Amino acid sequence: MTGVQTCALPIYNVRESQCELRFKEERTGLLSNKIHLDKYKQERDKVLQKIQEIANKVYVKQSPQISMFGSLITGLALESSDMDLVVQGLNISDR
């Protein structure tokens, strides 16, 4: 089987040129997706800031920290992806 190589991407045992093409497609797709998501960064930041302000008002005697995680942070989000948020720094004794 000459001219066959194992590709580091999800496609295996393909010709080198096909592997390179797939890598370029994956890289280009991720880059264009990042550019597309970056144009909404300001809106996401405003939402995160507003939620943080609400948490600070509700839990005045504590220090809640709202953080984003998930696909928006890893760069794997799609246009339809949600915002994954976590609240840390609260002591809720009734649970």
- 12 pLDDT tier (thresholds 50, 70, 90): very low
Within the chain, strands assigned E span: 4-5, 14-15, 65-69, 84-88
At residue 69, the pLDDT reads 92
Degrees to nearest 5, angle at CA 20 with 18 and 22: 70
Please state the rounded mean pLDDT for residues 19-29: 58
The answer to whether 92 touches 55, Cβ cutoff 8 Å, is no
Instruction: Give the whole-angstrom CA distance, residue 39 versus residue 34.
Output: 9
Closest CA to 4 of 43, 13, 12: 13
The answer to whether 88 touches 67, Cβ cutoff 8 Å, is yes
Phi, psi for residue 93 in degrees, rounded to 5: -80, -15
Please state the rounded mean pLDDT for residues 69-77: 85
pTM over 0.75: no
- 20 pLDDT tier (thresholds 50, 70, 90): low
Instruction: Examine the pLDDT at 71 and tell me if it is beyond 60.
Output: yes
